[in-house]
Amino acid sequence: MAHWILFGSFTLLMLIGTPIAFCLGIASLATVLYIGLPPVVVFQQLNSGISVFAMMAIPFFIFAGDMMIRGGIAARLIRFAAGLVGHLRGGLGQVNIVASTLFGGISGSAVADASAVGGLMIPQMAARGYDRDYAVNVTVNAAIIALMIPPSHNLILYSIAAGGTVSVADLFTAGIVPGLLLALALMATAYWVARRRGYPAEPFPGVVRVAYYFLAALPGLLLVGIIFGGVRSGVFTATESSCIAVLYALLVSLLVYRELDWHGFVEATLGAVRTTAMVLLVIGAAASFGWLMSFLQVQQAVIAGIQAISSDPIIVLLLINVALLVLGTFMDMAPMVIICTPVLLPIVKAFGIDPVHFGVVMILNAGIGLNTPPVGTVLFVGCAVGGISIREAMRTIWPFFGASVLVLLLVTYVPALSLWLPAQFR
């Protein structure tokens, strides 16, 4: 009966539109009261869920991303991307994807990516004759590349949810090839749609101009190398790298580009505080929910159910992918990772699947869920920036959605795409 109370109250609260953090917290409290545990257990688990040192990386990376938006780094990355691929068919769509890849590797946040790149690119695309649904769909699907490219704080979140047993450095390394593969798949899709709709290409600015754009964007691009190289080599941890990212972004914005004023710094700080507060509340509530699932031995029941269906890792991964895609349609990314990782990680380990490989698969699944209503955070941001309804965007999102799912299947069943680094170096 406790299982029904936990999942039933959670589902009911979600269906009536309750914010996800309160769904998790209320469902946990109701279950605790039913089984006779003291209510303080929920708050203890909530507190322990966010009192993790590695969790400090999340607010710092969010803060760094906000400063990059206001300090001129994002704008220069977009201009460099325009010089590289703007001459292809549907040029501004291609620029959007490449810019999201470059900026995503710095911000680590799909929502920040959709907001920053979309805010600059969607109005430009609409002014050049691109349909707004195309501009929004390119933006929101390209934004999930940020989840795979270091320094993705979602990969850090997966490592925390796994009890710290999965290396953040390994996850950062594992996300690079899948992230680039997703970028190429979306570029091919954008090109195909652009040809069908007759969108133009932008004039090529010339090699000299592209080189100038590259040099102008280089200070921002160097941050990716600093973070990844430092974490991979062991010079600093992922948490320390987030602090370095903030300091580096501040120095570049103030001393190199000189575009970050006091007002912009205050806005970036307040924006990071608001976003961090929301994210941590969800993570804490999800931690109490996840503890209850362990207490009620939900994981063992799920393992037994899957083993009753099949013992083939290929079928098991397919079932997990389907389940995660369905969950992604109504659950935001942070609670999904926090809740599902403790449940699913023992399953994949039991079937001999590498936890690093599974981490990339889970994050990509959750990323696709960010573009599927009713809880499609990135899709909502893109539609708000583009000034169109969710229904308009959903009518034409399917080619991009199909490209993302295709990459998901490739990453799932070709482990070498994420485990490409030799084991002795991982």
Q: Where are the alpha helices (DSSP H) in 91-206?
A: 91-107, 110-127, 132-143, 153-161, 168-197
Considering only residues 186 and 114, tell me which one the structure prediction assigns the higher pLDDT: 186
The alpha-carbon radius of gyration of the chain (Å, integer) is: 21
C-alpha span between 155 and 172 (Å, rounded): 7
Given pLDDT bands bounded at 50, 70 and 90, which one contains residue 408?
A: very high
Considering only residues 193 and 47, tell me which one the structure prediction assigns the higher pLDDT: 193
Q: What is the pLDDT of residue 424?
A: 42
C-alpha span between 54 and 164 (Å, rounded): 9
Q: What is the pLDDT of residue 58?
A: 75
Answer yes or no: is pLDDT of 231 > 80.
Answer: no
Considering only residues 169 and 302, tell me which one the structure prediction assigns the higher pLDDT: 169
Q: Give the CA dihedral 381, 133, 329, 310, nearest 10 degrees.
A: -130
pLDDT tens digits, residue range 120-142?
Answer: 788 878 887 888 889 889 988 98
The burial of 327, by beta-carbon neighbours within 10 Å (0-12 exposed, 13-18 middle, 19 or more buried), is given as middle
Q: What is the pLDDT of residue 420?
A: 66
- Return the structure tokens found at 320: 């997990």
C-alpha span between 225 and 211 (Å, rounded): 19
Regarding pTM above 0.85, the answer is no
Q: Which amino acid appears at position 132 of this protein? A: R
Q: What is the pLDDT of residue 425?
A: 46
Chain centroid to Cα 184, Å, comes to 17
Answer yes or no: is pLDDT of 377 > 60.
Answer: yes
- Return the structure tokens found at 186: 């979306």
In percent, how much of the chain has pLDDT > 90?
Answer: 8
Query: Do 314 and 413 meet the contact criterion of CB atoms below 8 Å apart?
Result: yes
Considering only residues 36 and 423, tell me which one the structure prediction assigns the higher pLDDT: 36
Answer yes or no: is pLDDT of 426 > 60.
Answer: no
